Structure 1
Amino acid sequence: MKQIDLEEGRPDVATAMSRLNNRIYQARATGDRACKIIHGYGSTGKGGAIKSACLSELRGYKRRGLIKDFCPGDKFGPFSEDGRRMVAAFPELNRDRDWARMNDGITVVLFK
């Protein structure tokens, strides 16, 4: 699964969101079925600004039909309905190394 690293180079939120937008469009254009976004959890222990902005952007992408679905890493596992829904749509996801690890620093995205 393709990875989109929003933390690389320690960007500000605007730069990270621009990177997210560009990479989502690239992944869709190349026919990828899913991608993993690495946004980190933030150094405050409350969740980072990039993570919050990323999840907000993904909600908008889903509403506009640009992506099929997404699942934050803390729900990406067999005990979450979100995780089960993702694997039902794309079974190979349960072989990902972050499956069932409750990794708050990632989000998995499914494309249409």
Structure 2
Amino acid sequence: MTIFDIKSTLPTTEEAKMELMAILHRSHPEKIIKIIHGYGSTGVGGKIKKMTHQVLKQAVKSNTIRAFIPGEATTTLMGYDEVIFTYRHLIKGDTDFHRGNDGITYVIF
């Protein structure tokens, strides 16, 4: 699984969005990638995290990606249970799986 960190350079939300869009439009040999977006300094979801999930929802609607799983959805009921069950075999070996890491999101192609 390839990991993309879109928050380590402390980008603006718009810069992070441009990077995320570029990542999504590259062809990936893997079926799944992990995006590190951080969780926001308040602990309730930062701007980059919210933007990431908004972009990914649109990507699902436009068939750019198959699905996405927020890190916290692996330990909290958030409506992603079917997606987690379907793609569990792709993420179960990751160290963040079952940790409830709200600073990451899995993207399935």
TM-score by length of 1: 0.86
1:16 equivalent in structure 2: 16
Q: Which runs of 5+ in 1 are unaligned?
A: none
TM-score by length of 2: 0.89
Query: For residues 30 and 45 of structure 1, what CA distance do their matches in structure 2 show?
Result: 31
**SS of the residue 1:108 aligns to:** strand
Q: What is the one-letter code of the residue matched to 2:84?
A: M
CA RMSD after TM alignment: 2.0
Q: What is the one-letter code of the residue matched to 1:4?
A: F
Measured after TM superposition, the shift of residue 77 of structure 1 is 5.0
Q: Which runs of 5+ in 2 are unaligned?
A: none
Query: For residues 41 and 76 of structure 2, what CA distance do their matches in structure 1 show?
Result: 28
Identity %: 31
Q: Does 1:52 align with 2:50?
A: yes
Q: What is the one-letter code of the residue matched to 2:4?
A: I
- Name the count of aligned residue pairs: 109
CA gap 1:77/1:91 in 2 versus in 1, 3 angstroms: farther
1:69 equivalent in structure 2: 67
Contact 1:74/1:101 (<8 A) preserved? yes
**Equivalent position to 2:38, from 37, 40, 47:** 40
